[in-house]
Amino acid sequence: MIYICSPYAGNTEENTAFARQACGYAIRQGAVPLAPHLLYPQILNDSVPEEREIGIRLGLDILERCEELWICGDRMSAGMKRETAYAKSRGIPVRRIPVCEIMGNQTVQELGKGIREGPETSQSYQKNVQLGM
């Protein structure tokens, strides 16, 4: 199992779309991805500090059970730095995966635009249809 470490806070629409792409990338590499930031915001309110902290703590519990942590993307949020430090303190290998490796020629902004337009018209949808996803 691979822990997917990517930004969430800020532009959550684009960041969620990117995390989904990162999970798809991991699957194509033959890995089993886990991205707690795709799950817990559906249950917990990320804008309530206590609930956000619960989500982060649950994510770290999941991280302890993973074989590796993959830093996905070209920037590190405060939450990602915390997850990375936690992994290193537990001896969990950390690997950095750049945006270009995950997205190919598509940018995160284009991915977000496709989401706003609707899935049937987005480039990522068309690409996934071509890939059989």
pLDDT in tens, 36-95: 999 999 999 988 999 999 999 999 999 999 999 999 999 999 999 999 999 999 999 999
> Which of 32, 73, 37 minimizes the C-alpha distance to 57?
37
Q: What is the pLDDT, as a whole number, of residue 13?
A: 92
Query: The domain containing residue 126 runs over which residues?
Result: 2-131
Q: Residue 31 sits in a domain of what CATH number?
A: 3.40.50.450
Tokens of residue 52, six digits: 């956000």
Cite the DSSP H helix spans in the chain.
Answer: 12-28, 36-39, 49-63, 78-89, 99-103, 108-117, 123-131
pLDDT band at residue 113 under the 50/70/90 scheme: low
User: What does pTM read for this prediction?
Assistant: 0.78
Angle CA(8)–CA(109)–CA(122) in degrees, nearest 5? Answer: 105
How many structural domains compose the chain?
1
- Taking a C-beta distance cutoff of 8 angstroms, is the pair 96, 28 a contact? no
Q: What is the pLDDT, as a whole number, of residue 129?
A: 40
- Taking a C-beta distance cutoff of 8 angstroms, is the pair 33, 26 a contact? yes
Express each pLDDT in 7-33 by its tens digit. Answer: 998 888 999 999 999 999 999 999 999
